[in-house]
Amino acid sequence: MVEVLVVGAGPTGTMLAGELALAGVGVEILERRSTSDLVGMRARGFHARTLEILDQRGIADRFLAEGRTVPAASFAGTSVDISDLRTRHPYTLALPQAQVERILAGWVGELGVPIHRSREVVGFAQDAGGIDVHLADGGRMRARYLVAADGGRSTIRKAAGIGFPGWDATRSTLIAEVEVAEETPTGMRVDETGIHGLNPTGDDRTMSVLVTEQQPGPATEPTLADLSRALVAVYGTDFGVRSPTSISRFGDATRQAAAYRAGRVLLAGDAAHVHSPTGGQGIGLGIEDAVNLGWKLAEVVKDIAPDSLLDTYQAERHPATARVLRYTMAMSATQRADDRVSALSELLTDLLSIDAARMRLAGLHHGLDVRYEAEDGGHPLLGRRMPDLGLMTADGPVRVFSLLHDARPALLGLGGPGSVAPGSWGHRLRSVDASYDGAWELPVIGAVEAPAAVLVRPDGHVAWVGEGTTEGLEQAMARWFGPHRSRRAATR
């Protein structure tokens, strides 16, 4: 029996598998596609927090080497400078999803994770001891847990009976790479229907086409005839389109799973939420799901923490994602050209000239403003991502993110040698005495008081802050990393 089966070899599923492998959990990926090739156009990049997460695992440079950084975000036609965001990665990384998947697949391959291709999951049956996964070829596999990262039309989510409430699409857009027989205008245009654009791909005959359909299209694969009709409606001609390399349809439907868990089944990425691709939030949301769930699921599988730890996955990720989904809805609403939208865009442009508004939007867009559950009146770091500070230790300088490469929690003592100790949890986390003399500044909220100690979870979020005492430390370690050994022994 496999400890965890992950369905879907996209960025979410592959990242999750890597997280589980780092924690020593037996994990395998099942993928419906026979090859790593992607049909149609997919995501084209991701934002600062995603890069930070990859940096926490020591693999960000692999992506940066192949992508292009863009130190700006766009909202309602307004370009927003983000170069002064408080992060080592104050930019968007332009990188096609196919390359993202290839790099992640290489990483999990190094970790020994098998990807089984041409394995389509059609159902499952779970019991008290595990879950039987049914494959399209009649085969079966058994696991302790099953994670659905199988996309917005998730077979597993439907089989689990998990609702997918939200908003239907109000429009649909075709993206294609095709040959053309006629000379075409280049560049983007916006009209009352939506956004359209024609741009050369690099050779003399092939064009990249973006065109919004006059009416929302069906949830089926688009055809060359669909593309031709949409182009004629906008440009008066289809430019003789032929020989498509790819044609994809996407809409602005926005939905979120009512639950992220049904017993031994968990949802992540597009299986848990779908939205307009406007703003490029898809890969980032899935990666954040993966790193939030991975270490928690590993602790439960290894009998370190109780099963209830998995409930914090939905408790944290559902509200954080819901906020981003509404953001994508707002962005999508501005992608039409009429007098009312223009008036709104002008107002937003004016507001974004205010520095505080610009930083607030940039923090949301780039995933740097997420704060998981924290008590009122607690230190501002609680629940937020730990900044990648340059610390000084007895062994020399070290970056905070380098301490998270193995996906283990870290206890940072910043009040002098021996100022804080992990006690009975020492075998489960990395404990480091260090100093930091610089300013503590967080995206959006700015400067915060320097803590004396910080407990950082494997996903990079802060679980506890010491302000001169160790009050609450044991409770935080027990909550997130399981009871210490003596208490565990007493309960058996």
Distance between CA atoms of residues 293 and 204, nearest Å? 46
Distance between CA atoms of residues 84 and 362, nearest Å? 10
Percent of the chain with pLDDT over 70: 96
Question: What does the mean pLDDT of the chain come to?
Answer: 92
Q: Above 70 in pLDDT, residue 488?
A: no
Distance between CA atoms of residues 469 and 418, nearest Å? 12
Are 335 and 277 in contact by the 8 Å Cβ rule? The answer is no
- Structure token pair of residue 302: 């290894």
- Structure token pair of residue 469: 């005492």
Give the mean model confidence (pLDDT) for residues 363-386: 90
Q: Above 60 in pLDDT, residue 372?
A: yes
| H-state helical runs in 1-135 | 11-22, 48-56, 60-64, 97-110
Distance between CA atoms of residues 247 and 260, nearest Å? 31
Distance between CA atoms of residues 351 and 329, nearest Å? 19
HSE-up of residue 348 (Cα within 13 Å, Cβ side): 19
Partners of 225 in the beta sheet? none
Tell me the C-alpha to C-alpha distance, in Å, between residue 202 and each of 52, 98, 177, 370: 32, 18, 11, 39
Please give the pLDDT value at position 492. Answer: 47
**pLDDT of 295-337, one tens digit each?**
999 999 999 999 999 999 999 999 999 999 999 999 888 888 8
Q: What angle do CA 445, 451, 455 make, to 5 degrees?
A: 95
End-to-end CA distance of the chain: 24
**pLDDT of 396-451, one tens digit each?**
999 999 999 999 999 999 988 888 989 889 899 999 999 999 999 999 899 999 99
Percent of the chain with pLDDT over 90: 73
As annotated, the residues of the chain forming the CATH 3.30.70.2450 domain(s) are: 172-251
- Structure token pair of residue 284: 């980032």
Determine phi and psi for 406, rounding to 5 degrees.
Answer: -95, 10
Could you tell me the fold of the domain covering 2-166+255-365?
Answer: FAD/NAD(P)-binding domain (3.50.50)
The residue with greater pLDDT, 203 or 155, is 155
Please give the pLDDT value at position 489. Answer: 46
Q: Above 60 in pLDDT, residue 351?
A: yes
- Structure token pair of residue 389: 């500070």
Would the pTM count as exceeding 0.85?
yes
Determine phi and psi for 102, rounding to 5 degrees.
Answer: -65, -45
Please give the pLDDT value at position 332. Answer: 86
Please give the pLDDT value at position 246. Answer: 85
Please give the pLDDT value at position 45. Answer: 86
Please give the pLDDT value at position 459. Answer: 98
Could you tell me the fold of the domain covering 390-491?
Answer: Glutaredoxin (3.40.30)
CB-based burial label for 39 (10 Å; 0-12, 13-18, 19+): exposed
Distance between CA atoms of residues 3 and 20, nearest Å? 10
**pLDDT of 221-256, one tens digit each?**
899 999 999 999 999 999 999 999 889 888 899 999
Considering the domain delimited by 172-251, tell me its CATH architecture: 2-Layer Sandwich (3.30)
